[in-house]
Structure 1
Amino acid sequence: MTKQDSVPMNDLKRLYDRYQVEIEREVASTLRSGWWLNGAMGKRFAANFSRLIGVSECVLVANGTDALEFALAAVVKLDATRGREVIMAANAGGYASCACWHNDLIPHYVDIEPASQLAGVQSVLDAASADTAAIVITHLYGGVVDVRAIRAGLAEAGLAHIPIVEDCAQAHGARIGSDMAGSLGDISTFSFYPTKNLGAMGDGGAVLASNPAAAEHVRRLQQYGWSSKYHVGVPYGRNSRMDEVQAAILDVLLPALGERNEQRRAILGRYKSVARHRLQFLEGGEGAVAHLAVTLCDDRDAFRAFMKERGVDTEIHYPVLDCDQIGWAGLPMKGTDNLAVSRASVSRLCSVPCYPDMTNEEVEQVCLALAEWEAM
């Protein structure tokens, strides 16, 4: 099979080609303005994005990991809880764990649901206690955790004060019922890494909230902790800004988010239609946005070699649980003995290409390879 027959996991040049005229117009206008940080484009995109999600405040930051760190700092400070534990899943790539340790907090890992690989509602509620400082809910792979059910369970247990941070880095535009991911918790975070459902052409992130005090705390943290220029009002701030060019690009792509999510869902639907007993594609819920097409496969190495022979790239999201990373072995953490589903799944996960700029021929090539694997 020739190189041009291969199906890549993603091809960002196609995205650029599709929106080249609009992107170049807005980028050129931004550059000509001479205002490249903290300007009108950032304000415009922040307003448009917060309107889409359904919250009042949006603070643009340098990346999604900073967003998580700032969001945790804001809710823990404002909640004034005495706990230091942060409940989270261990299978989401390590970003929430990093944010936790950088805030001198302790990750408390909980198990996931087999069919979705999302944090289990009951697992979260079982772990919640007076020691819990916050809960991070990661809407992994474009699926959506039922945050409303977690809120109801916390209230029933007398723990309604525990703040919920939504990590929406893989869930731009996802919904549960009529509610948009990012509007369900006390505060939410997004990454605009280029391969996201809404991606920039560089790094970028955002923190969203309907609590003005939380948003204001994040604004201070992302600009050195300033309360006013050159006057530090809170500790542990840094420089974490999204530049105007990235905001301009994101504002161009934002109106197409819904359409592109539908294209992702359609591609994943075609894959599911050929999966039988050897492959199990994850189910993220009715409002999921198919950030990735992830399957559980018993013989992953053989499957990846099989797909490569047929010109289809694959990837693993993610190959190591947070609690098993060698570099983090000496850091404080809890819940590592109660992750049966997470541990049983981590060696079976495999992603195949799923992005809106795939051609019909490429999708069919992946489907044929999947069907052939199933028939063996």
Structure 2
Amino acid sequence: MTIRVWDYLDEYAAERDDILDAVETVFGSGRLVLGRSVQEFEAGFAGYHGVAHCTGVDNGTNAIKLGLQALGVGPGDEVITVSNTAAPTVVAIDAVGATPVFVDVHPENFLMDTGQVAAAVTPRTRCLLPVHLYGQCVDMAPLEALAAEHGLAILEDCAQAHGARHHGRLAGTMGDAAAFSFYPTKVLGAYGDGGATITDDDQVDRNLRRLRYYGMEDRYYVVSTPAHNSRLDEVHAEILRRKLRRMGDYIAGRRAVADRYAEALADTGLILPETAPGNDHVYYVYVVRHPRRDAVLEALKTYDIELNISYPWPVHTMTGFAHLGYGPGSLPVTERLAGEIFSLPMFPALPPDTQDKVISALREVLANQS
């Protein structure tokens, strides 16, 4: 059987009774849209983060998009972010009519180089959008200082960092609002798409709730536009509500997998993940580097192992964003990393014997590459 970077079947087997009971609970509730399960999950997720509000939406992309709109970001504004991210981060900026402005990343941990952000601020800058990538947080202190100095909003992209901490502060609690994805692969994943935006700001929360429900506050009456139908589904909310209670176990499982990789691969020449100072890493993905990455991945296929690259194309190099004018060499670290990084299998239910096969195959392939 082919080994891939992620699989949910072992976790589903262990949690099957609870997952199916969640589905039965919703189907028997008499309310299939914006009912008790969404309300209780929103309260639980806000409580987990120690913030006042959580608005459940249909996916992580809309969590960012609606978050930007709720913060007042729109046409003519600039949003500073990174190109080493999943494309939805930038698609959401584009969708509200704003212009993404990129800074480079650190080669050691792949996170936003916050030392470059001040030079990127212009009179059009409205928002800073740090991406907490691969399971750990961006250094937020410089961004918070810049935001205070220039009157900017901060929207954290936390799609890959559920439960991660920076100097003890949870990802999602260091800006004006934060967007999360519950795509099935995430640290807290649904059985389909889902997302949420959290905030401590009452007005931002009111904006979010209107935006995700056609611009309505009362049924059938639109208060403001543009707006959307971006509601979190009741079934996904009920599953997430239950899985939220197991967040500590999911994170511990990921860290155990990461520890085994670190010990077994330390002497291979593979560049292993580095945790940035002050961070508690949750290892959404386990991203490594090798200068002959493509040859390594090709060789692993002979062992029936197919791994992933997160991400092979920096966003600024994609034809869909050519209009932004970033040519080759604009973000040298990001561009170099795109040719070297790849992800090893990472999920809490990864069987130890499967991980052993990956480690053994990697050691053999890397020995042949030296």
Q: Under a length normalisation based on structure 1, what TM-score does the superposition of the two structures give? A: 0.92
Asked if 1:368 is matched to 2:360, the reply is yes
Pairing 1:283–2:279 present: no
> C-alpha distance in 1, partners of 2:328/2:244?
39
The aligned counterpart of 1:91 is 84
Q: What is the CA-CA distance between 1:82 and the residue it aligns to?
A: 9.8
Q: Which residue of the other structure, out of 168, 171, 182, is the alignment partner of 1:192? A: 182
The secondary structure found in structure 1 opposite 2:4 is coil
Equivalent residue number for residue 221 of structure 2 = 231
Query: Are 1:319 and 2:312 matched, yes or no?
Result: yes
Q: In structure 2, the residue corresponding to 1:91 is in which secondary structure?
A: coil
CA distance in 2 between partners of 1:335 and 1:34 (Å): 55
Match of 1:60 in 2: 56
Whole-angstrom distance in 2 between the partners of 1:154 and 1:167: 16
Indicate the SS of the match to 1:107.
strand
Q: Which ranges in structure 2 are unaligned for 5 or more consecutive residues?
A: none
2:258 equivalent to 1:268: yes
Q: 1:136 to 1:356 in 2, by over 3 A?
A: same
Determine the C-alpha separation between the residues in 1 that align with 2:306 and 2:335: 25
- Of the three residues 335, 340, 343, the one matched with 1:343 is 335
State the partner residue of 2:134: 141
2:152 is aligned to: 162
- In 2, Cα distance between equivalents of 1:83 and 1:280: 41
Residue-by-residue CA offset, 1:216-273 (whole Å, 9 max, x unaligned): 1011111111132222222111111111111111111111111111211221222222
Matches of 1:189 and 1:92 in 2, distance apart?
Answer: 14
The sequence identity of aligned pairs, in percent, is 33
AA paired with 1:281? L
Query: What's the Cα RMSD here?
Result: 1.9
Q: Tell me if 1:43 matches 2:39.
A: yes
Whole-angstrom distance in 2 between the partners of 1:40 and 1:359: 35
Say whether the 8 Å CA contact 1:83–1:132 is kept in structure 2.
Answer: no
Q: Which secondary structure does the structure 1 equivalent of 2:283 belong to?
A: coil
Q: CA deviation at 1:14?
A: 1.6
Q: Is the 8 A contact 1:109 1:335 kept in 2?
A: no
Give the total of aligned pairs: 365
Report the Cα distance in structure 2 between the residues aligned to 1:30 and 1:48, rounded to whole angstroms: 17
CA contact (8 A) 1:72 1:103 kept: yes
* Partner residue in 2 for 1:101: 94
Distance (whole Å) between structure 1 residues aligned to residue 330 and residue 317 of structure 2: 13
Q: 2:348 aligns to what?
A: 356
Cα pair 1:275 1:374 within 8 Å, conserved = no
Q: Bigger CA drift: 350-359 or 274-283?
A: 274-283
Q: What residue is the counterpart of 1:221 in the other structure? A: 211
Measured in 2, the distance between the counterparts of 1:139 and 1:238 equals 26
Cα deviation digits, residues 30-70 of structure 1 (max 9, x gap): 11112011111111111111111121100000000011000
Structure 1 residue 150: Cα displacement: 1.9
TM-score normalised per structure 2:
0.94
C-alpha separation in 2, matches of 1:31 and 1:148: 45
Q: Aligned pair in 2 of structure 1 residues 83, 238: CA closer, same or farther (>3 Å)?
A: closer
Greater shift after overlay, 216-225 or 122-131? 122-131
Query: Cα distance, 1:312 vs. partner?
Result: 2.3
Helix, strand or coil: the match of 2:71?
Answer: helix
Return 110-119 or 309-318, whichever deviates more: 309-318
Show the counterpart of 1:19: 15
Distance 1:262 1:126, change over 3 A: farther
The superposition leaves residues 345-366 of structure 1 with CA deviations (integer Å, 9 ceiling, x where unpaired) of 1111111101111111111112
Q: Which whole-Å CA distance do the structure 2 matches of 1:22 and 1:309 have between them?
A: 38
Q: Do the aligned partners of 1:108 and 1:333 also contact (CA within 8 Å) in 2? A: no
CA distance in 2, matches of 1:276, 1:74: 48
Give the letter for the 2:359 counterpart. Answer: C
Structure 1 counterpart of 2:169: 179
Q: Where do 5+ consecutive residues of structure 1 fail to align?
A: none
One-letter code aligned to 2:351 = T
CA–CA distance in 2 between the matches of 1:312 and 1:284?
26
